[in-house]
Amino acid sequence: MMKKILTLLAVAALFGCAGPAPAPKADIVMENILSRKSVRSYTDQKLTEEQINTLLRAAMAAPSGSNIQPWSFVVLTDASEYDAIFPGNFNLDKFKQAAAVFVLCADTTVTRTPRGGGEPVVRPNGTWRDDMGAVTENLLLAAESLGLGAVWTASYPYKDRYLPPKQALGLPDTVIPYSIVPVGYPAGDEQPKDKWDPARVHYGRW
């Protein structure tokens, strides 16, 4: 009897009847990228610490110029503080609804110790904006993969949006709030937009 069961299980596994076959990696990645959409309203459901850490882990996996990784994150979950942190920000109602608000911060400088030794030198980091775009997108994709909703809201380069949280959250002088991403469980049924447009592609030359 036991031998019969084992044989049946082996055959089932061989023909993929033991459960859904895992989708190839490319399919999973494309499905994630193509299903991401901006979500601007959220239910009351909170995020777990594990979900928050997953989002941060994805964000920190982003590429960056010379691998400088200029990013830091301020994670906010207390909506009663947001009037004081984001005064006048037109996205404030989204922040207040969200289970968590991620303030993605960039150090605009890089500190290097000269090769021959000596005092560390502080100079501008030429790629921090590019790096922070990649970080923000990674966080959005991770939110999508967890069944959460999120939207990229602009902070830098608008002084009226980045200076108040910079001061309220106590960021160091060289650090700027680059983007602000509210995350929560979607309250609506937003769908991804189909942006595929072959006319945007030029082969060989424009």
Q: Give 153's strand partners.
A: 180
Cα distance between residue 54 and residue 206, in whole Å: 41
**Minimum distance, C-beta of residue 136 to ligand FMN, in the bound complex (Å):** 7
Are 154 and 99 in contact, with CB atoms under 8 Å apart? Answer: no
DSSP H helix total and E strand total for the chain: 7, 7
Q: Give 157's strand partners.
A: 155
41 contributes a contact to ligand FMN by CB under 6 A: no
Q: Which of 73, 79, 129, 152 binds ligand FMN (CB under 6 A)?
A: 152
DSSP assignment letter at 22 = P
Q: Which is nearer to ligand FMN, 94 or 110 (CB)?
A: 94
Q: How many residues bind ligand FMN (CB under 6 A)?
A: 9
Residues 114-133 binding ligand FMN (CB under 6 A) are: none
153 contributes a contact to ligand FMN by CB under 6 A: yes
145 contributes a contact to ligand FMN by CB under 6 A: no
**Minimum distance, C-beta of residue 102 to ligand FMN, in the bound complex (Å):** 14
**Minimum distance, C-beta of residue 41 to ligand FMN, in the bound complex (Å):** 11
**Minimum distance, C-beta of residue 115 to ligand FMN, in the bound complex (Å):** 37
Are 49 and 55 in contact, with CB atoms under 8 Å apart? Answer: no
159 contributes a contact to ligand FMN by CB under 6 A: no
Q: Residues with Cβ < 8 Å from 182, sequence gap 6 or more?
A: 40, 42, 91, 94, 95, 97, 98, 100, 101, 102, 150, 151, 153
Integer distance in angstroms from the first to the last C-alpha of the chain? 69
Q: Which of 34, 38, 127, 187 binds ligand FMN (CB under 6 A)?
A: 38
**Minimum distance, C-beta of residue 91 to ligand FMN, in the bound complex (Å):** 5
138 contributes a contact to ligand FMN by CB under 6 A: no
91 contributes a contact to ligand FMN by CB under 6 A: yes
* Token pair for 122: 């502080």
**Exposure of 27 by Cβ count < 10 A (0-12 exposed, 13-18 middle, 19+ buried)?**
exposed
Q: Which is nearer to ligand FMN, 57 or 90 (CB)?
A: 90
User: Given the rule CB under 6 A, which residues bind ligand FMN?
Assistant: 37-38, 40, 91, 151-154, 193
